[in-house]
Amino acid sequence: MSEDGAGVPSAVAAGSQDQGGTGRTLYLEIFRYNPADPDSEPQFRTYPLEETPGMTLFIALNLIREEQEPGLQFDFVCRAGICGSCGMLINGRPGLACRTLTASMEPRIRLAPLPVFELIGDLSVNTGKWMRGMSERLQTWVPATVDADIDSIEAPMEPELAEQIYELERCIECGCCIAGCGTAIMHERFAGAVGLNKVARFRLDPRDTRSDGNYYELIGDDDGIFGCMSLMGCQDVCPKSLPLQTQLAYLRRKMLRAGLIATG
Ligand code: SF4
Ligand code: SF4
Ligand code: FES
């Protein structure tokens, strides 16, 4: 996502304004930089803000933009941990601004854009571009093997299997696992937990007729499953608590076997 959310009504941003303060003043140290402006220098600027009950970083950023810094760039759409737009480094750790209560932190809060992704400006990054590239490299879709017949009845699926697939479908492509992954930071084309989780999801899908050998061609190298160092930074920061460790271990076993068969 890369929308900067400038059109959100002020009532949304104000959120908790009428509830009185908590008595704390927050100091948000926010990364400011506009890569499109040759005069812009990367820097942190500090914005004081009176905390209100139930305040999230989403509310705090909107108030700062309304009252102090109209040009501040950051992304959000849903405010509910669903769209994945508001990922950022919160005191150095990837997380969602809309799901982070300021009450859970010390008053001085440092916000920076997620690394790895192209910087649009300030806290806004282009996760969509990265996700598209990953998706095209890993072919994260069910390949069509028959012509679609819109009059046919829906194919049944065992509820247990559907549940397993939906569990992995909960990924919101926020990019937090990529920002928290040492391999993704060093290797531009590494699929990361988000990509490998998608492969695991399609591997489960009975409509996907690709073999382990086909998947090996997609992820059987250092840009795929063998680039993963298994330190699980991804699982630690995933705001949807996806079972990434289990999926990565599953794929590693599958791909090791497929690799042994491929090399005889
Ligand atoms: S796996 Fe988790 S951290 Fe990674 S993009 Fe999906 S929801 Fe975000
Ligand atoms: S376990 Fe693998 S995908 Fe997850 S953070 Fe570590 S290297 Fe990245
Ligand atoms: S605004 Fe949608 S996840 Fe935070």
Per-residue pLDDT band for 12 (boundaries 50, 70, 90) equals very low
* Mean pLDDT of the chain, nearest integer: 91
What DSSP designation does 219 have?
H
Is the shortest distance between the CB of 76 and ligand 3 below 6 Å?
yes
Q: Find, among 69, 83, 254, 88, the residue nearest to 178 by Cα.
A: 88
Please name every residue paired with 26 in a beta bridge, in sequence order, or none if there are none: 49
Distance CA 117, CA 188 (A): 10
In this prediction, residues 151-168 reach a mean pLDDT of: 92
In this prediction, residues 21-49 reach a mean pLDDT of: 97
Atom of ligand 1 nearest to the CA of 84: 8
CA of 97 from ligand 2 middle (Å) equals: 22
Residue 16 has pLDDT above 50, yes or no: no
| Model pLDDT, residue 155 | 81
Residue 88 has pLDDT above 90, yes or no: yes
Atom of ligand 3 nearest to the CA of 97: 4
Is the shortest distance between the CB of 96 and ligand 3 below 6 Å?
yes
Is the shortest distance between the CB of 184 and ligand 1 below 6 Å?
no
In this prediction, residues 36-57 reach a mean pLDDT of: 97
Per-residue pLDDT band for 19 (boundaries 50, 70, 90) equals low
Domains of the chain: 2-121 (3.10.20.30), 139-262 (1.10.1060.10)
In this prediction, residues 113-123 reach a mean pLDDT of: 98
Residue 147 has pLDDT above 80, yes or no: no
Ligand nearest to the CA of 134: 1
Which residues form ligand 2's pocket by a CB distance below 6 Å?
A: 180-181, 183-184, 192-193, 228-234, 248
Is the shortest distance between the CB of 84 and ligand 3 below 6 Å?
yes
Q: Report the largest interatomic distance among the alpha carbons of the chain, rounded to a whole angstrom.
A: 70
Atom of ligand 3 nearest to the CA of 82: 3
Tell me the per-residue pLDDT of 186-210, one tens digit each, with 9 for 90 and over: 999 999 999 999 999 999 999 899 9
* CB 237, CB 177: distance < 8 Å: yes
Cβ-based neighbours of 175, under 8 Å, separated by 6 or more: 84, 87, 94, 114, 116, 117, 125, 127, 130, 131, 194
Residue 17 has pLDDT above 60, yes or no: no
CA of 87 from ligand 3 middle (Å) equals: 8
CA of 96 from ligand 3 middle (Å) equals: 7
**Number of neighbours of residue 173 by Cβ within 10 angstroms:** 20
Residue 64 has pLDDT above 80, yes or no: yes
> Of 57-66, 86-95, 252-261, where does mean pLDDT reach its minimum?
252-261
E strands present in 21-114: 25-32, 43-50, 87-90, 93-96, 108-112
pTM of the model: 0.90
Is the shortest distance between the CB of 113 and ligand 3 below 6 Å?
no
Residue 3 has pLDDT above 50, yes or no: no
Is the shortest distance between the CB of 83 and ligand 1 below 6 Å?
no
Please name every residue paired with 16 in a beta bridge, in sequence order, or none if there are none: none
| Model pLDDT, residue 30 | 98
Q: Report residue 175: phi and psi, to 5°.
A: 90, 0
Instruction: Provide the sign of the torsion angle of the four alpha carbons 96, 98, 103, 109, taken in this order.
Output: positive
Ligand nearest to the CA of 171: 1
Is the shortest distance between the CB of 79 and ligand 3 below 6 Å?
yes
